[in-house]
């Protein structure tokens, strides 16, 4: 999930002091940690020498997915989006170094996933640089949260273009290759909010619900070519993007709502994605797997 700080739709409780909030956020950031390598929770076989495109892998869930696939011998192509501060490029450089530490090859570049021609060129470049293409993980996404009566055209269109159109552009780019080789794995990162929305998430929820529908359609169309298409639906996952922007009381409420009583970790998502990309999941297609600690129950 992605969030924006400005114009948050979530009301702040008047009895929650700023100092208490700051302490809670600091504790959450410590929980996110500074691990340079995700904790392995799953080992599968048969992924060695495959090539994967992972969109939006410079941080958070995308980073964890790229590193977990690399740990299993997969060569990684990933994109990021340049920002004015250069932070995203710096993070991408660090992820590339970590990927290479597993003895696999990496290609990465800035690419706006919401621009059709950019995505087509990026996917072709990955195939050219890494010598093939077998896996696509559509992870890139953003959030601009507003009450719907305060949501601008730009906020609506930007989120839908990035989250939903971007996933379609990448899927369309890999489909001919996967059909020709009669093998491919596609995993789309949706969200629990594509299944059940909350206040202020009209654009985000619509985009993620669209991802789920796109996943099911692609599974039908690509299944005859031996291509598996599935989706994961993460709940509240501990990333710096989440803890920087979501009020602490919202995160506390998410913990309480989870039957496991905790937020998720990016590696919790990465392990399931790796499984879905492996032959252990060869007979699973069109599935949507919540990774939410029981949040939807």
3-state secondary structure of 89: helix
Q: In what order do the strands lie in the sheet with 75-80?
A: 106-110, 75-80, 51-54, 135-138, 184-189, 227-234, 288-291
**What is the 8-class DSSP label of residue 259?**
T
Give me the residue label for tokens 């941080």: 59
CA 99, CA 45: separation in Å to the nearest integer?
Answer: 18
Instruction: Return the closest-CA partner of residue 198 out of 228, 163, 226, 235.
Output: 235
**Which of 108, 169, 204, 236 is an active site residue?**
204
160: enclosing H helix or E strand: helix 153-160
Q: Is 108 a catalytic residue?
A: no
Q: What is the phi/psi pair of residue 174, to 5°?
A: -90, -20
Residues with a catalytic annotation lie at: 204
């Amino acid at each position: 999930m992605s969030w924006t700080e400005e114009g948050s739709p979530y009301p702040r409780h008047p009895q929650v002091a700023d100092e208490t909030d700051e302490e809670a956020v600091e504790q959450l950031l410590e929980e996110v940690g500074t691990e340079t390598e995700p904790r392995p929770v799953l080992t599968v076989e048969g992924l060695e020498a495959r090539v994967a495109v992972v969109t939006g892998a410079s941080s958070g869930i995308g980073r964890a997915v790229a590193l977990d696939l690399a740990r299993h011998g997969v060569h990684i192509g990933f994109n990021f989006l340049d920002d004015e501060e250069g932070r995203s490029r710096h993070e991408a450089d660090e992820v590339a170094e970590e990927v290479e530490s597993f003895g696999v090859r990496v290609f990465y570049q800035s690419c706006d996933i919401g621009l059709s021609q950019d995505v087509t060129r990026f996917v072709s470049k990955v195939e050219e640089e890494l010598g093939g293409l077998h896996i696509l993980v559509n992870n890139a996404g953003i959030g601009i949260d507003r009450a719907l009566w305060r949501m601008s055209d730009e906020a609506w269109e930007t989120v839908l273009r990035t989250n939903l159109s971007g996933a379609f552009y990448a899927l369309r780019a890999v489909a001919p290759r996967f059909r020709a080789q009669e093998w491919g794995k596609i995993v789309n990162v949706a969200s629990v909010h594509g299944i059940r929305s909350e206040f202020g998430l009209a654009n985000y929820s619509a985009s993620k619900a669209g991802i789920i529908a796109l996943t099911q359609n692609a599974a039908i169309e690509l299944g005859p070519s031996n291509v598996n298409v599935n989706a994961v639906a993460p709940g509240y996952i501990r990333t710096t993007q989440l803890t920087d922007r979501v009020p602490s009381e919202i995160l506390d409420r998410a913990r309480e709502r989870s039957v496991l009583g905790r937020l998720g970790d990016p590696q919790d998502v990465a392990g399931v994605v790796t499984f879905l990309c492996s032959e252990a999941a060869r007979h699973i297609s069109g599935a949507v797997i919540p990774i939410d600690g029981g949040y939807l129950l």
